[in-house]
Chain A
Amino acid sequence: DQQVKQNSPSLSVQEGRISILNCDYTNSMFDYFLWYKKYPAEGPTFLISISSIKDKNEDGRFTVFLNKSAKHLSLHIVPSQPGDSAVYFCAATMNRDDKIIFGKGTRLHILP
C-alpha cells in the first residue's frame, strides 16, 4: 500500500508560469516531508523540506505547502524555468522507524 502518492506522472507548464506538483500521504505519523529533483543519469538533489508543525516553507522560487487535515502537500515553482524540467520526488519520514518513503515521482516539462 502506497503511503506517499504522486498521482500525476507528468506535467507540462509554460516557461514563466507557475508549476504546482502535488503529493498525498496516508500516514498521519509522518513528521517531515522533503522534495527532491532528479535529472537523467544523476542522483536526486534536495530542493526543500517542511516539518509537520508548519504549513508553509519558502526558498527562492520554491514554496512547499502542507495541509495536514487533507494529508496533502504541494510544491510551487514560480516562475518556471527551462532548467526545472526534471523528475520531482516527494518523500516523507517519521520518527517511529526512521524510514524514508518516496513517491513515484512527477516528470515536469517546461515548455518554451
Chain B
Amino acid sequence: EAQVTQNPRYLITVTGKKLTVTCSQNMNHEYMSWYRQDPGLGLRQIYYSMNVEVTDKGDVPEGYKVSRKEKRNFPLILESPSPNQTSLYFCASSFSRSYEQYFGPGTRLTVT
C-alpha cells in the first residue's frame, strides 16, 4: 500500500530537549516536504527536498533542521524546541512539486 508514515504520532516534550520526527515513504518519490498546521494559519511549508542530499527552506524554517540521506526518509529535527513550535506537523511526498502530494497522518507536538 502506498503510504507516508510518521513517528511518533503524538509527542509532549520540554523546552530545549532535542527531538526527531521521522518520515518515510514507499512510493519512490523524489520530492518530500514538512509542513506545520496552526489554527488560522493553514499549512505552512517548513523545509522541502527535491532529491537525496538536496534540501531547501520553505516559508517557516527557523528552529528546524532536515536531512535527506536516503530517498525514502526525510526526518525533521528540532535541536532546541520552544513552546512556539507546538503544532501539528505533516510530512508529504510526491514525484515533484507540481504532482499530487501524499500526506502522512500527522504528528501532534506539544512543547512545554
Contacts and interface: CB of A to CB of B under 8 A. Distances in A.
A and B: interacting chains:
yes
A43 B45 contact: no
Interface residues of A, number: 26
A32 B98 CA distance: 6
A89 interface: yes
B105 A89 contact: no
Contacts of B40: 104
A43 B90 contact: yes
Contacts of B102: 46
B44 interface: yes
Given A43-B106, A49-B98, A100 B48 contact: yes
28 contacts: A32-B97, A32-B98, A36-B101, A36-B103, A42-B106, A43-B4, A43-B90, A43-B92, A43-B104, A43-B106, A49-B98, A51-B98, A91-B43, A93-B98, A95-B97, A97-B56, A98-B48, A98-B56, A98-B97, A99-B56, A99-B58, A100-B45, A100-B101, A101-B45, A102-B35, A102-B42, A102-B43, A105-B42
The 10 closest A-B pairs by CB, nearest first: A43-B103, A46-B100, A104-B42, A32-B98, A102-B43, A93-B97, A98-B97, A44-B103, A105-B42, A102-B42
Interface of B: 4, 31, 33, 35, 40-45, 48, 50, 56, 58-59, 90, 92, 97-98, 100-106
Given A49-B98, A98-B50, A103-B42, 14 more contacts: A31-B98, A43-B105, A46-B102, A49-B100, A93-B98, A98-B48, A98-B97, A99-B56, A100-B45, A100-B58, A100-B97, A102-B35, A102-B44, A104-B42
